[in-house]
Amino acid sequence: MARKSRPLKTSFWSDDKVCRLSRDARLTLAGLITMHADDEGRFLATPQAIGGAIYPHDDLPPARIKRWLAEIEAEGMVVVYRVNGGTYGWLRGWARHQTPPHPTPSTIPPPEEAGQNS
């Protein structure tokens, strides 16, 4: 699904949590923010969906994408969750950092904690 690209704050690159990630996990996180997540910070969190959205011309093993996503999740920046057999992700703190001028409501179900920590 094509998304509108959104900018990263310049502070992204010097954030302590971001700096603890491997280079490829940082690139994946940047891609999730700018290209793959919807206007509520939610995204389909399968390796195929992430790879297709962020790395469309790279032949990456699913295990590698899973490892990068797990790094991001371990730093507390992403919540990976399952609803009705689907695997989804949510970028924590999305509402504090992104304010789309004309947001499109998400078609992805929210994680349980989205209302508490958005």
Residues 96, 29, 59: CA angle, nearest 5 degrees:
155
pLDDT tens profile 50-81: 999 999 999 999 999 999 999 999 999 999 99
Question: How far apart (Å, rounded) are the C-alpha atoms in residues 114 and 81?
Answer: 11
Q: What is the pTM of this model?
A: 0.87
pLDDT tens profile 17-32: 999 999 999 999 999 9
Six-digit token string for 76: 């507390």
pLDDT tens profile 73-110: 999 999 999 999 999 999 998 877 777 777 889 999 99
Kindly report the CATH number that applies to the domain delimited by 21-117: 1.10.10.10
Question: How far apart (Å, rounded) are the C-alpha atoms in residues 83 and 102?
Answer: 27
